[in-house]
DNA sequence: GACCTGCTGCGGTGTG
């Protein structure tokens, strides 16, 4: 078939359904037919899926007829749930355009019968996850399986590119590209992305450094509306807090007025509490409102998702578990309780409503404390400006590389030089040095310097011809069980004594419960009975309230974009401009702040000191997000400590930080630039050294190392169904940490742990940028008689999270003592 | 006077 005929048939497919063909879809088809790779960027619900899928089909329609059967198109999705939805969509359209063309899915959910079928004969199109793809690469016959591969599509690339799953995908793509090249062809690769600030980078990472490719932007401009539920009585609204239950009546009102509403919460426990409160207020909603978060059992979540799809649910209280993965939901209204923390996330959530070309997406912010009104005003402006966060791509994570080496050794073996070359074709490893490569190779061959005597760490060995392979079946099996880069806490299953599964909670939470204690989980009050083999047995409790489980999740900081937008709003206020109802509502509070102290703006850093019974407080408001503020606070404490002996307690939030000292400090002198060009506390010279010295970097690295050890295959997670407990995993990873520190200081996985702490947990680059910004801002110093609105939130924060420099140094001392003991005589 | 929190995602063996 020629191209014109193929295009005609696809056109007929659209015409039959009354769909419009958008120019961006044509652009993708033309590029792909010409053998070009690329990135397609468009909002959700704009027809991206069919744009790339029909590109693949048209390539197949135009290909010379062949009798060879095998895999032609590979579709990679980050989520199993999406695999099922995609399978349906692709199968239906393929049946019409390419009769006889087979589409199948392969994820962890794939049945053993389907696996056996696929082992014999792969379908023409396979939908899979990065992990399942990597598993396929670990099979000895991988090269044959992918011999006919023509096109790869990576769905939701923006979700993958910023993390190690994306790096694993890059490595797999490099492998597939190499095979296609060896067979004399080129692999056509297309990525799909939405809500992303750095498109050119996204494309480069997907296609490999320096590789050509097209960027196609979906032309449909989605109208996005962001607004705010303003508290009924703003002057009585709390200055701090995160639950926002005061807003319950307003939220219930919104739910009443619309067919289906998603209520997004920032944490699982918050979702549990909101759901419970909602049911208490509206008992008649039992059965038509539901709860959805990542710790609930899959069966429960499936039921909720199905209810949503059928339009049977009035509202679902959820966390970002509903951000993705459930496509084509008929949702009318989206509410966001508390800060969305970033513009990309907000846009994504807005996109859950009006999910079809031409319809308006709307999200309504529900503040949980007064200052969030400020954030809301900033967010609305940032969305208007489409000021979207960039995703940062990990740079040569060696744990992922080490895992990959074993995978490829299993999947037919490799020669060092050829694989080195191939790996450097993956963007994240483009700067991988010869030494680093040798180190990784040595690490899988001998376990590095310190593990040489243990055969289970001699995972990969060269044969006489110099081809590296895995010498032992058992090692291979163990490796396959550990493929992937997602590392989570050890979880305890929660089950009814009668058998039903409810979900999972963290080991530490259950450990604090006694028999007979109640807790709120899965939307009901449960009574804890006993724990046995990583399973907690419970029964329905009668009446009373219960504790809410806490999960140790990530603590996402406010993004720079959103923080700057909020600061900009305060600048407007100093000029007498109130941008909307949010700013008018918060005006009285800002007026107090301005009267007692001053408003922070992009041009002015506000610093306050306060003397109270607790001691001498210092408040600083850089608006740089909590991660940076932790770094800044520790850095300031350390630098001040060098001028005069003193220790501080520290508190941080997304807007600023507090230092509390027992003794008086002469703050103006501390903040005065010493002389000339000296920028004192705000200096960036010796930043890295000072940060390392001011924080307990060792302890932070050790925590980070847990994940690295697991990905690098040092720590075995246990067999499915009998997971190791947290303590066991922690113990063995900290053992490796200590052994490497003592006997193998050059171990690059240690260096990586430290780098990840600095880059990801402390956001060192953003910290440096913030210091530079602070140098350029005027300092507005105020001694206040009582805590200002901004300061109050920080004082509250300190009660829950006690970080003190004294404690840190105690901990350092303890770690040092332990190390000396471990070193022994 | 005000408070007490921290998301998501995947994968896998055993041969009596």
> Could you check: is the Cβ of residue A240 within 7 Å of any atom of nucleic acid strand B?
yes
Question: pLDDT value at position A161?
Answer: 96
Q: Nearest nucleotide by C1' from A551 CA?
A: B6
Question: pLDDT value at position A629?
Answer: 93
> Could you check: is the Cβ of residue A702 within 7 Å of any atom of nucleic acid strand B?
no
Q: Same structural domain for residues A21 and A116?
A: yes
Question: pLDDT value at position A810?
Answer: 46
Q: Same structural domain for residues A660 and A717?
A: no
In A 413-472, which Cβ lie closer than 7 Å to strand B? Answer: none
- Parent domain of A503: 491-548
Provide block-wise average pLDDT over 10 residues at a time, chain A (825 residues).
Answer: 90 92 93 96 82 96 87 95 90 92 93 87 95 96 94 96 97 97 94 91 96 88 88 84 89 94 93 93 94 92 89 93 72 92 91 76 93 95 92 96 97 96 98 97 88 85 94 92 89 88 87 86 90 87 77 84 94 95 94 94 93 89 92 90 83 92 82 59 88 81 90 84 70 87 92 92 92 91 91 79 46 44 45
Q: Same structural domain for residues A117 and A144?
A: yes
Residue A567, domain member (yes or no):
no
Please report how many Cα atoms fall inside a 13 Å half-sphere around the Cα of residue A227, on the Cβ side: 9
In chain A, how many domains are there? 5
Q: Same structural domain for residues A411 and A507?
A: no
Q: Same structural domain for residues A477 and A413?
A: yes
Residue A23, domain member (yes or no):
yes
Residue A572, domain member (yes or no):
no
Which phi and psi angles does A190 have, rounded to 5°?
-130, 135
Q: Same structural domain for residues A54 and A121?
A: yes
The domain that holds A251 is classified in CATH as 3.40.50.300
Residue among A103, A97, A98, A99 nearest A73 (CA): A103
Pairing of strands A214-217, A604-612: unpaired
> Could you check: is the Cβ of residue A605 within 7 Å of any atom of nucleic acid strand B?
no
> Could you check: is the Cβ of residue A547 within 7 Å of any atom of nucleic acid strand B?
no
In A 333-372, which Cβ lie closer than 7 Å to strand B? Answer: 341
Q: Same structural domain for residues A639 and A498?
A: no
Residue–nucleotide distance: A324 CA to B11 C1' (Å): 20
Contact (Cβ atoms closer than 8 angstroms) between residue A709 and residue A749? yes
Question: pLDDT value at position A804?
Answer: 46
> Could you check: is the Cβ of residue A233 within 7 Å of any atom of nucleic acid strand B?
no
Residue–nucleotide distance: A479 CA to B12 C1' (Å): 9
Contact (Cβ atoms closer than 8 angstroms) between residue A261 and residue A253? no
Question: pLDDT value at position A509?
Answer: 84
* Residues 6+ positions from A615 with CB-CB distance below 8 Å: A660, A661, A662, A663
Question: pLDDT value at position A677?
Answer: 47
Of A361, A385, A409, the one marking the end of a domain is A385
Q: Same structural domain for residues A14 and A81?
A: yes
Contact (Cβ atoms closer than 8 angstroms) between residue A726 and residue A490? yes
Residue A558, domain member (yes or no):
no
DSSP string, A641-683: HHHS----EEEE-SS-EEEEESS---HHHHHS--STT--GGG-
Residue A663, domain member (yes or no):
yes
Of A187, A218, A249, the one marking the end of a domain is A218
Residue A571, domain member (yes or no):
no
In A 18-47, which Cβ lie closer than 7 Å to strand B? Answer: none
Question: pLDDT value at position A113?
Answer: 87
Q: Same structural domain for residues A323 and A281?
A: yes
Tokens read off for A617: 């407080």
Q: Same structural domain for residues A661 and A710?
A: no
Q: Same structural domain for residues A144 and A54?
A: yes
In A 90-129, which Cβ lie closer than 7 Å to strand B? Answer: 107-109, 128-129
Nucleotides of strand B lying closer than 7 angstroms to a protein CB: 1-14
Residue among A608, A816, A759 nearest A163 (CA): A759
Tokens read off for A736: 């490796």
Residue that has been written with the tokens 């020669």 in this structure? A415
Q: Nearest nucleotide by C1' from A797 CA?
A: B3
Of A761, A782, A813, the one marking the end of a domain is A761
In A 737-796, which Cβ lie closer than 7 Å to strand B? Answer: 789, 792, 796
Q: Same structural domain for residues A669 and A800?
A: yes
Question: pLDDT value at position A414?
Answer: 97
DSSP string, A90-158: HHHHHHHHSTT--EEEESTT--HHHHHHHHH---SEEEE-HHHHHHHHTSTTHHHHTTT--EEEETTHH
Question: pLDDT value at position A808?
Answer: 42
């Amino acid at each position: 078939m020629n191209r014109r005929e193929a295009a005609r048939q696809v056109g007929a497919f659209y015409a039959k359904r009354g769909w419009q063909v958008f120019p961006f879809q044509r652009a993708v088809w033309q590029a792909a037919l010409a053998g070009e790779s690329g990135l397609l960027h468009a909002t959700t619900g704009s027809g991206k899926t069919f744009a790339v899928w029909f590109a693949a089909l048209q390539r197949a329609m135009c290909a010379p007829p062949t009798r060879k059967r095998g895999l032609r198109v590979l579709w990679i999705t980050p989520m199993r749930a999406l695999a099922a939805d995609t399978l349906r969509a692709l199968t239906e359209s393929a049946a019409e355009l390419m009769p006889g063309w087979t589409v199948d899915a392969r994820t962890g959910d794939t049945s053993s019968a389907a696996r056996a079928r696929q082992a014999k004969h792969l379908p023409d199109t396979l939908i899979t996850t990065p992990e399942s793809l990597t598993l396929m690469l670990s099979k000895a016959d991988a090269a044959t399986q992918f011999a006919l591969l023509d096109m790869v599509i990576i769905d939701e690339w923006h979700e993958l590119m910023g993390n190690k799953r994306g790096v694993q995908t890059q490595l797999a793509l490099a492998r597939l590209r190499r095979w296609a090249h060896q067979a004399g062809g080129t692999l056509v690769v297309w990525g799909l992305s939405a809500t992303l600030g750095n498109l050119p980078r996204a494309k480069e990472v997907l296609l490999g450094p320096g590789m050509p490719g097209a960027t196609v932007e979906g032309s449909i401009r989605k109208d996005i509306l962001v607004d705010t539920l303003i508290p009924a009585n703003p002057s009585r609204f709390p200055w701090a807090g995160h639950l926002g239950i005061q807003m319950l009546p307003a939220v219930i009102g919104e739910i009443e007025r619309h067919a289906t509403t998603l209520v997004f919460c920032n944490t699982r426990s918050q979702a549990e509490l909101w759901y419970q409160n909602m049911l208490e207020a509206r008992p008649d909603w039992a059965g038509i409102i539901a709860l959805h978060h990542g710790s609930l059992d899959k069966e429960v979540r499936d039921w909720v998702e199905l209810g949503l799809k059928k339009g049977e649910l009035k509202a679902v209280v959820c966390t970002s578990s509903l951000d993705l993965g459930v496509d084509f939901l008929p949702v009318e209204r989206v509410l966001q309780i508390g800060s969305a923390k970033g513009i990309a996330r907000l846009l994504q959530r807005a996109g859950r409503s009006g999910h079809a070309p031409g319809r308006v997406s709307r999200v309504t912010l529900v503040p949980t404390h007064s200052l969030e009104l400020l954030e809301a005003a900033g967010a609305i402006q940032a969305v208007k400006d489409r000021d979207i966060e960039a995703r940062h791509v990990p740079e040569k994570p060696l744990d992922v590389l080490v895992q990959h080496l074993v995978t490829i050794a299993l999947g037919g073996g490799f020669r060092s030089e050829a694989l080195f070359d191939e790996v450097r074709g993956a963007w994240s490893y483009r700067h991988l040095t010869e030494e680093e490569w040798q180190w990784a190779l040595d690490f899988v061959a001998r376990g590095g310097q310190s593990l040489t005597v243990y055969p289970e760490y001699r995972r990969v060995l060269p044969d006489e011809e110099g081809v590296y392979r895995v010498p032992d079946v058992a090692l291979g099996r163990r490796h396959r069980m550990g493929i992937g880069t997602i590392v989570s806490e050890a979880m305890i299953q929660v089950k009814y004594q009668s058998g039903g599964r409810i979900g999972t909670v963290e080991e530490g939470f259950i450990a604090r419960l006694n028999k007979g204690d109640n807790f709120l989980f899965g939307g009901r009050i449960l009574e804890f009975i006993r724990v046995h083999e990583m399973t907690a047995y419970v029964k329905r409790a009668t009446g009373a309230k219960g504790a809410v489980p806490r999960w140790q999740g990530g603590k996402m900081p406010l993004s720079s974009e959103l923080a700057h937008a909020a600061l900009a709003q305060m600048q407007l206020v100093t000029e007498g401009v109130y941008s909307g109802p949010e700013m008018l509502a918060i005006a009285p509070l800002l007026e107090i702040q301005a009267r007692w102290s001053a408003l922070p703006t992009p041009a002015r850093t506000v610093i306050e000191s306060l003397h109270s019974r607790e001691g001498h407080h210092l408040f600083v408001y850089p608006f740089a997000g909590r991660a940076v503020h932790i770094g800044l606070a520790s850095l300031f404490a350390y630098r001040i400590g060098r001028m005069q002996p003193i220790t501080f307690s520290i508190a941080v939030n997304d807007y600023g930080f507090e230092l509390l000292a027992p003794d008086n400090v002469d703050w103006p002198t501390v903040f005065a630039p010493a002389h000339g060009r000296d920028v004192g506390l705000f200096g960036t010279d010796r930043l890295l050294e000072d940060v390392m010295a001011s924080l307990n970097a060792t302890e932070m690295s050790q925590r980070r190392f847990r994940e690295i050890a697991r990905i690098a295959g040092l720590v075995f997670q246990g067999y499915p169904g009998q997971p190791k407990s947290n303590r066991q995993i922690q113990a063995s990873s900290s053992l490796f940490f200590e052994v490497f520190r003592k006997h193998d200081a050059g171990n690059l996985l240690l260096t990586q742990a430290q780098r990840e702490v600095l880059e990801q947990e402390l956001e060192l680059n953003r910290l440096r940028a913030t210091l530079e910004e602070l140098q350029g801002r005027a300092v507005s110093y105020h001694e206040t008689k009582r805590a200002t609105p901004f300061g109050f939130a920080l004082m509250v924060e300190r009660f829950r999270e006690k970080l003190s420099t004294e404690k840190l140094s105690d901990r350092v001392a303890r770690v040092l003592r332990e190390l000396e003991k471990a070193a022994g005589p």
